[in-house]
Amino acid sequence: MPLLTPEDFEPWVGRRVRVSTVPQAVEVTLERIERRPALAPGLDFREPFSLFFDAPAGVYLLDATYEFDCGKGGPHAIHITQLVPSATLRHYQAVFN
């Protein structure tokens, strides 16, 4: 199974992504990709990066792994964590080291 890279998600920035949840799927928007420097040059398998998703306030996801349908090669099992919500949106982050 190939490791996901930031390039796999670049076409989806600004687009809605379907997340498999019960009892029905929800959609979140991939707002941005944040690239980070390598932790140990020459030892990393891939460039570390994070994905940041926004969702309406009514879409509440737990810190867990969900299937995200981002198209190319998907769906992908992605673990997300909640960030501090704003007045109208919930924010989530997925970290890839």
Which tens digit of pLDDT belongs to each residue from 28-69?
999 999 998 877 766 667 789 999 999 999 999 999 999 998
Q: What pLDDT was estimated at residue 73?
A: 66
Q: Please give the C-alpha separations between residue 82 and each of 12, 15, 47, 56, 91, in angstroms, as whole numbers.
A: 20, 19, 23, 13, 6
Assess whether pLDDT exceeds 60 at residue 8.
Answer: yes
CA distance linking residue 29 with residue 76, whole number of Å: 15
CATH number for the domain whose boundaries are 6-96: 2.40.10
Going by pLDDT thresholds of 50, 70 and 90, the confidence category of residue 78 is very high
